[in-house]
Amino acid sequence: MAAFLQWRRFVFFDKEPVKDPGENGKNFALPSGISACDSGRGHIVLGDILTICFLTRSLQLTSFQAYKLRVTHLYQLKQHSILVSVGQDEHGINPLVKVWNTDKRDSGSPLCTRIFPAIPGNKPTEVSCLSVHENLNFMAIGFTDGSVVLTKGDITRDRHSKTLTLHEGNCPVTGLAFRQAGKVTHLFVATLEKVQCYTLSVKEYPRLELDTHGCALRCSALTDPSQDSQFIVAGDDCVYLYQPDERGPCFAFDGHKILAHWHRGYLLLLTRDTKPDFGSRETSPTEKQILTIYDLDNKFIAYSAAFDDIIDVLAEWGSFYILTRDGNMFMLQEKDTQTKLEMLFKKNLFVMAINLAKSQHLDNDGLSEIFRQYGDHLYIKGDHDGAIQQYIRTIGKLEPSYVIRKFLDAQRIHNLTAYLQALHRQCLANADHTTLLLNCYTKLKDSSKLEEFIKSSESEVHFDVEIAIKVLRQAGYHSHAVFLADKHLHHEWYLKIQLEDLKNYQEALRYIGRLPFEQAETNMKRYGKTLMHHVPESTTVLLKRLCTDYHRSLHRICVSQANSEEFIPIFANNPRELRAFLEHMIEEEQSPPQGVYDTLLELRLQDWAHEQDPERKKGLQEAALLLLRRENTVFDKALVLCQMHNFKEGVLYLYEKGKLYQQIMHYHMQNEEYSKVVEACKTYGDKEVCLWEQALGYFARKEEDCKAYISEVLQHIDQNNLMPPLLVVQTLAHNSTATLSVIKDYLINKLQRESQQIEEDERKIRQYREETAHLRSEIQELRTSAKIFQKTKCSMCNSPLELPSVHFLCGHSFHQHCFESYAESEAECPTCTPENRKVLDMLRAQDQKRDLHDHFNRQLRSSNDGFSVVADYFGRGVFNKLTLITDPPGGKAGPGSLEADLQRDLLIHTKRNS
């Protein structure tokens, strides 16, 4: 059976007669006696007996006389306005070739640029076929005697071309075609018996015989470049396709071939049942001819119909035009692609529709719709495997949910898996698709596919890694989830699975140790407590490294140190590890955070408080004190810690460091350490004298027998005159056990010193009175009597006086030159000036300090003897004005008299502030 009978037949062309626009819808009538025709450059070219006619798209017909006798062949170039014709101007066998330029005119006709006779070797023979290369450099003419004449060069001019006989044979030449591939030019030559190919781009034009059978006249054609410019030879049994070096595929199309054309992917064959001899191409008026249009790529017949006596079939203006012998012209208009596809859809020919769409270069959206319809068709038929393959081809155009809903049934899970895999491969899957695909794998328990999916290379990852980890974890595929998290550096998920699901704490700790510093720090803060609970020693080691000298294990790049204070809460239930961590920080860090120091101090104090072994307790005490002696000790915090744990040595050390001497003594007082109280007074009494007064008050309030301590305190108070005797007596009066014998020696010594002081003061008074009386007598004498100067020596140089000399009332005399050399003022004696100036300065200082009450109060508080301070200010006259203001009228001293106030202030201000 012929191959074409197995091909499906369609009507992809609409046939309609061409109407004459000027004849009210009548059929257009062709010129009679058409002997040759061709098309191109926007018109159909017709050759009758004498003229050549041009038919435009609007069916306007123009003609000119080309030959005197007849036109036999026409060839219209497609890329140039050049028409080549063969005809006769004279009777006999004398074919003449003319080249016309249809863009130029000569007396209204196209310009004839060249005329030359077409005779091979001056042998009279008829022209059988004609072909012209589009580059205008080659023209081939075939003859009935088997010769082929080749014109090389510019075919439009005589002097730029040369003509030679390329081929000679015994069989008529039935077909010629030029093929251009890059810079290589071939000429196919078909005869009744052979098919040959010449290579024109090589010298000597080598020839290759392709086949030993040929074809009839007009039964050969050249495909377009999309089909690799193959040479078609239509025999009565088969249609053959040829490459320049070999024969290609063949198609068994039965029927006697009359005509073969190729246009835009279609092969047009005109056939009839009988096989007349060569040269007898005419048929009887009643005989039908079959015009068939084949689509060789898609293997179907696009159109087939019977016609009466066809002259030729021409392609122009996007359609096929059929010229018949009776003068009619028919147009075959190709249906649009969508219409053709719908015709195929109705017959469920989806494969053919897909192939057709591709050959028609349909866009991706159109192809996707065909795939969808094909998939729906297969799905309805129950071919789910085939349907899913078609749906896969719609990815990127069709919404995935349309397909997924169809295959959610558990029995279709394999098909759904295939679709989801393709969706991921094209990087069009979202998180839901990834979740669904992984669930399919887990339900199928297809570990191999699952591993293949998650272990794909970085460039092949087409899914949301985090979603995949979540799904695998929920499905219990923890090892797969860990692998994925490790491979794609999802550190948080890796650690979460290792710690919460696999309980692999050591591996999680090792993983953290390989992370960059910032991520390692963050994860230790997040999981540190869990790791410390299960692997305390290894966790402590990592924390030490993280806070001192952290390096990544792989790249040994030093990074910033973490703040050790922030990790202290991790050790909440691990005091031993905490102590080791803090001690490491104290030793390694130059300035550890304050929290590290405070926490370590608290730990050491706790250890000291709970230790029972005296030797170890002593060692812990030294360790705690060593920590307290560090420079970064915060006094308040350390003191609170020491007091909380009753760490006596630490408390006393901090008091001494803070110069809180009274607190030291009060601490001993609270613990009734009498000897320590006295010892503290001796140690710090010079720095804070009020300690002795407080010590005396402390022992005075004790009802116990503290006479020895009171006596020792009184002795020191007496030696340094720290308290007035009256205040001492008042202080001891509160102690019932302190008898007079306790203070007898103190009072006797005090009274003796007071008596001695009184005697000394009385002696000075007498001395000052005598000096004052002497000075007053001198002043009176100077005022009332003349002064006799009897000095014989200069008071400055101690040399005998010589005139001129200078004398002062003070009794000093000077040479005038000595006086001028040493005197600072003409009115002052150089010898008495220093002493006088001291007295004047003292007077001025007293005047300036008369109103400095704050200065008086400070002196009164800081002095050991308040009476002396008050007496000194009385002597300066500070209280003179105060006395006048506060004295009541009449000069009587009231309750607020100066003496009472002074006595009260004296008793108060002689005490030191604690």
pLDDT, tens only, 306-316: 988 899 999 99
Give the strands of the sheet with 173-181, arranged side by side: 173-181, 184-191, 195-199, 207-211
DSSP string, 724-764: -HHHHHHHHTT-SS--HHHHHHHHHHHHHHHHHHHHHHHHH
Cβ atoms 120, 143 nearer than 8 A:
yes
Residue found by looking up tokens 């140089």 in the block: 797
Residue 379 or residue 887, greater confidence: 379
Quick one: three-class SS letters along 14-38? EEEECECCCCCCCECCCCCCCCEEE
Cβ atoms 229, 214 nearer than 8 A:
no
Residue 593 or residue 210, greater confidence: 210
Q: Which of 184-188, 219-223, 640-644 has the lowest mean pLDDT?
A: 640-644
What pLDDT does 807 receive?
Answer: 81
Q: Check whether 101 has a pLDDT greater than 90.
A: yes
Q: How confident is the model at residue 824 (pLDDT cuts 50, 70, 90)?
A: confident
DSSP reduced 3-state for 590 = coil
DSSP string, 70-126: EEEEEEE-SSSSEEEEEEESSSSS--EEEEEEEEEEETTEEEEEEEEE--GGG----
Give the strands of the sheet with 138-143, arranged side by side: 127-132, 138-143, 148-153, 161-167
Q: Say whether pTM exceeds 0.85.
A: no
Residue 267 or residue 337, greater confidence: 267
Give the strands of the sheet with 319-324, arranged side by side: 13-17, 329-334, 319-324, 310-316
Residue 462 or residue 583, greater confidence: 583
What pLDDT does 323 receive?
Answer: 93
DSSP reduced 3-state for 880 = helix
Q: Residue 501 carries which DSSP code?
A: I
How far is the C-alpha of 513 from the C-alpha of 550, rounded, in Å? 9
How far is the C-alpha of 375 from the C-alpha of 384, rounded, in Å? 8
Q: Residue 567 carries which DSSP code?
A: G
Strand-pairing partners, residue 71, are 87
CA dist 350 → 8, 10, 372, 376 (Å)? 13, 14, 10, 11
Give me the torsion for CA of 635, 637, 641, 643, rounded to 10°: 60
Mean pLDDT across 548-553: 64
Q: Check whether 535 has a pLDDT greater than 80.
A: yes
Q: Check whether 801 has a pLDDT greater than 90.
A: no
Residue found by looking up tokens 């109705």 in the block: 346
Structure tokens at 227: 């089909």
Give the strands of the sheet with 51-55, arranged side by side: 36-40, 43-47, 51-55, 61-65
Q: Check whether 179 has a pLDDT greater than 90.
A: yes
Q: Is 757 exposed, middle or buried (0-12, 13-18, 19+ CB in 10 A)?
A: exposed
Percent of the chain with pLDDT over 70: 80
What pLDDT does 500 receive?
Answer: 77
Buried-exposed string 310-333: b where 16+ CB fall within 10 A, e elsewhere: bbbbbbbeebbbbbbbeebbbbbe
- Contacts (Cβ under 8 Å, ≥6 apart) of 630: 597
How far is the C-alpha of 334 from the C-alpha of 356, rounded, in Å? 13
How far is the C-alpha of 408 from the C-alpha of 783, rounded, in Å? 139
The pLDDT tens digits for 452-492 are 666 665 545 556 677 777 777 776 777 777 777 777 777 88
How far is the C-alpha of 619 from the C-alpha of 607, rounded, in Å? 11
H or E segment to which residue 834 belongs: helix 833-848
CA angle, residues 867, 871, 874, in degrees to nearest 5:
145
Q: Which of 98-102, 419-423, 429-433, 858-862 has the lowest mean pLDDT?
A: 858-862
Handedness of CA 613, 614, 618, 621 (dihedral sign): positive
Long-range pairs for 447-451: beta carbons < 8 A, 24 or more residues apart: 449/417, 450/477, 450/480, 451/480
Nearest in space to 312 (alpha carbons), one of 37, 535, 622: 37
H or E segment to which residue 234 belongs: strand 231-234
The pLDDT tens digits for 594-643 are 666 677 677 777 767 777 777 777 777 777 777 676 766 666 676 777 77
The pLDDT tens digits for 39-91 are 998 999 999 888 999 999 988 899 999 998 889 999 999 999 999 999 998 88
Cβ atoms 51, 64 nearer than 8 A:
yes
Handedness of CA 167, 168, 171, 174 (dihedral sign): positive
- Contacts (Cβ under 8 Å, ≥6 apart) of 692: 681, 685, 713, 716, 717, 720, 722, 723
Q: How confident is the model at residue 506 (pLDDT cuts 50, 70, 90)?
A: confident
Mean pLDDT across 655-673: 73
Cβ atoms 260, 219 nearer than 8 A:
yes
